[in-house]
Amino acid sequence: METLCYSWANKVTFSYLGTLCSSSDSTWRIEVTDQQLDLEKLKRQEPILFYDELTLYEDELADNGISTLTLKIRCMPSGFFILLRLFMRVDGVLIRCFDTRYHYEVGNSYILREYIERESSVSSLKPEFQSTSDINSVISQLKINLQQLEKLFF
Domain locations in the chain as residue ranges: 32-153
Q: Is the pLDDT of residue 22 over 90?
A: no
Closest CA to 59 of 51, 72, 50, 68: 68
pLDDT category at 7 given cuts 50, 70, 90 is: low
Q: Which long-range contacts (CB under 8 A, 24 or more apart) does 26-32 make?
A: 26/154, 28/152, 28/153, 28/154, 29/152, 29/153, 30/150, 30/151, 30/152, 30/153, 31/150, 31/151, 31/153, 32/148, 32/149, 32/150
The helix (H) or strand (E) run that includes residue 52 is strand 50-59
The one-letter code for the residue type at 75 is C
pTM for this structure? 0.86
Residue-wise pLDDT tens digits, 93-141:
999 999 999 999 999 999 999 999 999 999 999 888 877 778 888 999 9
Length of the chain: 154
- Lowest pLDDT segment from 28-37, 121-130, 139-148: 121-130
Helices (H), the chain: 39-43, 127-130, 135-139
